[in-house]
Copies of this chain bind each other. A is one copy, B any other.
């Protein structure tokens, strides 16, 4: 067990966390409402968030930035939740993970394509710019 309990675990209030990750407190509470995150409470009822909670919130926000709905994210989180047990569950979760990885790889491909599209647009404009300069030389 080594030094369990000796190292004080850092913990933040909701507004601390909100500031760190640049979201509103409302948003964080809303995510809790949806079952995406479960901070512990002080005896007075105030939420406090530890490193693990922050990591989870980061994951949520990252997911959001790529068009995953909060519902999809919850689905994901539920499956990845630590306390699942049994070989069947584990296998399912791993399979789900593989699936998500594949989806992400696909997104990366698509993003590269989008990049390519934009690059072509831009080059088109650069070409026009060149032509305009040519005109000027006459």
Contacts and interface: CB of A to CB of B under 8 A. Distances in A.
Chain A interface category by residue count: 35 or more
B90 A118 contact: no
Contacts of A64: 67
Interface string A52-80: 00000001001111110000000000001
A94 to B, nearest CB: 5
A128 B98 contact: no
A65 B128 CA distance: 30
A13 interface: no
A59 to B, nearest CB: 6
B125 A65 contact: no
A65 B67 contact: yes
A100 B118 contact: yes
14 contacts: A62-B110, A62-B114, A65-B66, A65-B110, A66-B67, A66-B107, A80-B125, A87-B129, A90-B132, A93-B125, A94-B125, A98-B122, A104-B118, A105-B115
The 8 A-B pairs at the shortest CB distance, nearest first, are namely A97-B122, A67-B67, A90-B129, A80-B121, A104-B115, A93-B125, A62-B114, A65-B67
